[in-house]
Amino acid sequence: MTQTPPDLPMRALFDAQYQASRAQIDVPLALRLDRLQRLRALIDVHGAALAEAVQADFGVRSPRLTEVADFFVLRALLGDLEKHTGAWMRPRRVRTPIYLQPASAHIQRQPLGVVGVIGPWNYPLQLTLGPAATALAAGNRVMIKPSELTPHSSALLATVLHQAFEADELCVVQGGADVAHEFASLPFDHLFFTGSTAVGRKVAAAAAANLTPTTLELGGKSPCIIDASCDIGSAAIKIAHGKLLNAGQTCIAPDYVLLPKGREAEFEQAFAAAVASLFPTLAGNPDYASIVSDRHHARLQAMLSEARAQGARVVEVQTGAAQAAASSRQMTPALVFNPQPGLRLMNEEIFGPILPVLSYRKLDEAIATIHAAPRPLALYWFGSDTVARDHVLQHTVSGGVTVNDTLLHVAHENLPFGGVGESGWGAYHGETGFLRFTQQKPVLLQSRFAMGSLFYPPYGQRFDRIMGLLKRWL
Ligand code: NAD
- Mark whether 288 and 189 lie in a shared domain: no
CA of 198 to the centre of ligand 1 (A): 8
Check whether residue 300 and residue 413 sit in a common domain. Answer: yes
Q: State the distance from the centre of ligand 1 to the C-alpha of 20, rounded, in angstroms.
A: 29
Q: Is residue 315 part of a domain?
A: yes
187 and 47 both lie in a single domain? yes
**Residue 471: predicted pLDDT:** 85
pLDDT value at residue 4: 56
Cis peptide before 6 (omega within 30 of 0): no
Is 188 a pocket residue for ligand 1 (Cβ < 6 Å)?
no
> So what's the pLDDT on residue 6?
73
Q: Which helix (H) or strand (E) holds 346?
A: helix 344-347
Residue 143 lies in a domain: yes
From 117, 122, 181, 210, the mutation candidate for ligand 1 (largest count of ligand atoms within 8 A of CB) is 122
Task: Verify whether ligand 1 is closer than 6 Å to residue 148 (CB atom).
Answer: yes
453, part of any domain? no
**3-state SS, residue 190:** strand
3-state secondary structure of 35: helix
Mutation test residue for ligand 1: of 10, 54, 117, 118, the one with most atoms within 8 Å of CB = 118
Same domain, 206 and 249: no
Which atom of ligand 1 is nearest the CA belonging to 399? Answer: 41
Q: What is the largest CA-CA distance in the chain?
A: 94
The question of whether 365 is a catalytic residue gets the answer no
Q: Which pLDDT score, from 0 to 100, does residue 324 have?
A: 59
Residue whose CB lies within 8 A of the most ligand 1 atoms, among 10, 150, 194, 294, for a mutation test: 194
Residues 247 and 331 grouped into a single domain = yes
pLDDT at 81: 98
Exposure class string for 345-357: b at 16+ Cβ within 10 A, else e: bbebbbbbbbbbb
At 51 the pLDDT is: 98
Q: Is the CB of 153 under 6 A from ligand 1?
A: no
The per-residue pLDDT for 326 is: 60
d(CA 325, CA 346) in angstroms, rounded, equals 27
| No. of helices (H) and no. of strands (E), the chain | 16, 18
430 CB under 6 A from ligand 1?
Answer: no
Question: Which atom in ligand 1 lies closest to the alpha carbon of residue 149?
Answer: 26
Asked whether the bond before 353 is cis by omega within 30 degrees of 0, the reply is no
- For residues 193 and 328, membership in a common domain is answered with no
Residue 321: inside a domain, yes or no?
yes
Nearest atom in ligand 1 to the alpha carbon of residue 179 is 11
Q: Is the CB of 219 under 6 A from ligand 1?
A: yes
For residue 430, the domain's CATH number is 3.40.605.10
Are 434 and 391 within one domain? Answer: no
CATH number of the domain residue 338 falls in: 3.40.309.10
Distance 12 CA to ligand 1 centre (A): 25
In a domain, 470, yes or no: no
Q: What is the number of domains present in the chain?
A: 2
CB of 196 sitting under 6 A from ligand 1: yes
Q: 361 lies in a domain?
A: yes
Any ligand 1 atom below 6 A from CB of 58: no
Pocket test for ligand 1, best of 129, 145, 147 (most atoms within 8 A of CB): 147
Residue of 171, 224, 230, 251 marked active site: 251
Q: 466 in a domain, yes or no?
A: no
User: What pTM does this model have?
Assistant: 0.96
The answer as to whether 350 is a domain residue is yes
Same domain, 261 and 360: yes
Which pLDDT score is estimated for 195? 97
Q: Which helix (H) or strand (E) holds 440?
A: strand 438-445
For the Cβ of 6 lying below 6 angstroms from any atom of ligand 1, the answer is: no
Candidates 153, 145, 149, 115; CA nearest to 128 is 145
Q: Is 419 in the pocket of ligand 1 (CB under 6 A)?
A: yes
CB atoms within 10 A of CB 37: 12
Q: Are 219 and 351 in contact (CB under 8 A)?
A: yes
pLDDT in tens, the chain (474 residues): 444 567 789 999 999 999 999 999 999 999 999 999 999 999 999 999 999 999 999 999 999 999 999 999 999 999 999 999 999 999 999 999 988 999 999 999 999 999 999 999 999 999 999 999 999 999 999 999 999 999 999 999 999 999 999 999 999 999 999 999 999 999 999 999 999 999 999 999 999 999 999 999 999 999 999 999 999 999 999 999 999 999 999 999 999 999 999 999 999 999 999 999 999 999 999 999 999 999 999 999 999 999 999 999 999 999 987 665 666 899 999 999 999 999 999 999 999 999 999 999 999 999 999 999 999 999 999 999 999 999 999 999 999 999 999 999 999 999 999 999 999 999 999 999 999 999 999 999 999 988 888 889 999 999 999 899 888 877
Catalytic entry in 166, 169, 217, 413: 217
Is the CB of residue 377 below 6 angstroms from any atom belonging to ligand 1? yes
User: Does residue 377 sit in the same domain as residue 328?
Assistant: yes
Candidates 323, 317, 309, 308; CA nearest to 276 is 317
**What is the side-by-side order of every strand in the sheet holding 104-111?**
92-94, 104-111, 438-445
Are residue 134 and residue 231 in the same domain, yes or no?
no
Same structural domain, 265 and 204: no
The answer for residues whose C-beta is within 8 angstroms of residue 29's C-beta and 6 or more apart is: 85, 86, 89
- pLDDT of 1 reads 43
What range does the domain containing 255 cover?
223-417
290 shares a domain with 373: yes
